[in-house]
Amino acid sequence: MSIMTYRQALHDTLRAEMQRDEDVMLIGEEIGVFEGSYKITAGLLAEFGEKRVRDTPIAEEGFTGAAVGAAMLGLRPVVEIMTINFSLLALDQIVNHAAKIYGMFGGQARVPLVIRTPGGGGQQLGATHSQNVELYYAFVPGLKVVAPSNPADAKALLLAAIRDDDPVLFLENLALYNTKGEVPDDETPAEIGRAAITRPGTDITVVAYSRMAAVALQVAEELAATDGIDVEVVDLRSLRPLDRETVIASVKKTHCAVVLEDDWLTYGIGAEIAATISDGAFDWLDAPVRRVAMAEVPLPYSKPLETAALPSAEDAAAAIRQTLAAVARRA
């Protein structure tokens, strides 16, 4: 095991995969000479050259489309879109081409493409640079969508994404880049579509992903210390395919659930998880599923307003206490 940041885990994994497979190449804005807006690609242009580390114009639809074509012809492009907000400019290439080519061509062509892109608020980047629009992509058959919450999963899921023969949206959160954790030294990829129980518990299930999965762990430890509440944390890790079985099994054990997400509540990932629990574990529920999400507003630039709009550890703890209080009233 090595201790490293989420950022370093991504960098080292990209480098290792480029050394392992010469078909792996990087494409994106400012990833070469400038070494990436978040320095994930630092040093890779110098090591691998501009044939495999391609700086692009500010033209997301154009360079994403080029990557789709390169993937169809046998390369394994890893596209960096500077922020998930800018991926909307490439929506046609991602949704109407990358996701559909394998099916529309009857399996005659595959698209082994990875699109890395960060999102999330809390950095005072304004409403058009702070969104979590992963639902747009998790909605689309033909895409795989992963969202690691810690450095170990960042490595394992990036390994899996690069080696996968289907297009993978690899979602990062800006607030996670400097977080540290243990990372295995081996090169074993994760299984895309498999959630992780990051903290076993018996009193209540908390389901989350990306930044909110890290928040869930923090809240679980605090509630264990202050209230004696034993929280089981399910980190989804993958939004498509979705590991419904692990979520349902956890709720059947604890009999209640709270879902945490960084995006808007209406039509969100949490709504899908709540429906999954209703379908698969309704008879085991002792209280309604509660959801915690951000305020339904374009995220403000003002720091106090931004903080107020984003879901917090306090919001999560309150939802857990309220759910367990409802269980007690029904007992």
Q: Is 97 a catalytic residue?
A: no
Chain-centre distance for alpha carbon 253: 26
Separation of alpha carbons 253 and 232, rounded Å: 10
Is the pLDDT at 331 greater than 60? The verdict is no
Separation of alpha carbons 218 and 212, rounded Å: 10
Catalytic residue, candidates 17, 29, 60, 80: 60
Helix/strand/coil percent split, the chain, to 5:
45, 20, 35
Mean pLDDT in residue range 116-125: 93
**pLDDT, tens digit, for every residue of 169-209?**
999 999 999 999 999 999 999 999 999 999 999 999 999 99
The pair of structure tokens assigned to 213 is 């999965």
**pLDDT, tens digit, for every residue of 271-322?**
999 999 999 999 999 999 999 999 999 999 999 999 999 999 999 999 999 9
pLDDT, residue 326, reads 86
Q: How confident is the model at residue 329 (pLDDT cuts 50, 70, 90)?
A: low
Q: Which of 168, 162, 255 is nearest to 205 (CA)?
A: 255
Chain-centre distance for alpha carbon 283: 30
Q: Is 61 a catalytic residue?
A: no
Ordered structural domains, the chain, with CATH: 2-183 (3.40.50.970), 196-330 (3.40.50.920)
**pLDDT, tens digit, for every residue of 47-91?**
999 999 999 999 999 999 999 999 999 999 999 999 999 999 999
The full DSSP string for 110-123 is ----EEEEEE-SSS
pLDDT, residue 9, reads 98
| DSSP symbol at 108 | S
Is the pLDDT at 14 greater than 60? The verdict is yes
Is the pLDDT at 33 greater than 60? The verdict is yes
Give the other-Cβ count within 10 Å of 308's Cβ: 13
SS3 35: coil
pLDDT, residue 328, reads 78
HSE value, Cβ hemisphere, 13 Å, CA-based, for 272 = 17
pLDDT, residue 325, reads 92
**What percent of the chain has pLDDT above 70?**
99
User: Which residue is it, tokens 């880049």?
Assistant: 177
Is the pLDDT at 210 greater than 90? The verdict is yes
Q: How confident is the model at residue 330 (pLDDT cuts 50, 70, 90)?
A: low
**pLDDT, tens digit, for every residue of 211-241?**
999 999 999 999 999 999 999 999 999 999 9
Amino acid found at 157: L
Name the phi and psi angles at 245, rounded to 5.
-60, -45
User: Which residue is it, tokens 């720091």?
Assistant: 303
Answering whether pTM is above 0.85, one says yes
pLDDT, residue 102, reads 96
Catalytic residue, candidates 129, 232, 261, 306: 129
Q: What is the average pLDDT score of the chain?
A: 96
